[in-house]
Amino acid sequence: IERTLILVKPDGVRRGLTGEILRRVEAKGYTLAAVELQHATPDQLATHYAEHEGKPFYAPLVEFMLSGPTLAVIAEGQGVIAGFRSLAGATDPTAAAPGTIRGDMARDWGLKVQQNLVHGSDSPESAEREIAIWFPGR
């Protein structure tokens, strides 16, 4: 069965949107296999965001991800990787379509990093890599 790593980022936790976001995942028919509130460590984030190292938004992104707890989730179901990215909407919340998590609940705050509420793995390989970072042994 396909699985993906979802993160409700610190903006989503701070704004009290974890329930609404998980509700949408469950309403779509996906199963929650693990849910844990975590305060990310610098090491964890360096691994998770290794592909972005050196980009202008990298340091603000890590700082933002360290600014409060993140809800880490493993969700399962046929097609869940693409399906959750579709639920999440475009990375830029201004461009994200209404009906998506980012389109409905995120906006541009004029900061150096997109505070776009959620992360979802983008391929089976990244899902397994990211699950190992947030849920070692799962």
Q: Which residue numbers are catalytic?
A: 119
Instruction: Confirm or reject binding of residue 123 to ligand ATP (CB under 6 A).
Output: no
Q: How many CB atoms lie within 10 A of CB 72?
A: 22
Contact call for residue 116 and ligand ATP (CB under 6 A):
yes
In whole angstroms, the minimum distance from the beta carbon of 31 to ligand ATP comes to 20
Quote the CA–CA distance of 65 and 59 in Å, as a whole number: 10
- Cα angle for residues 60, 64, 68 (degrees, 5° grid): 160
- What's the chain's Rg over C-alpha atoms? 14
Stretch near ligand ATP under the rule CB under 6 A, chosen from 19-27, 32-40, 93-101, 119-127: 119-127
Q: Is 135 assigned a ligand-binding role in the annotation?
A: no
Among 8, 61, 73, 74, binds ligand ATP (CB under 6 A): 61
Angle at 60 between CA 105 and CA 18, to 5 degrees: 30
Site membership for ligand ATP, residue 119 (CB under 6 A): yes
Contact positions vs ligand ATP (CB under 6 A): 57, 61, 91, 113-114, 116, 119-120, 122
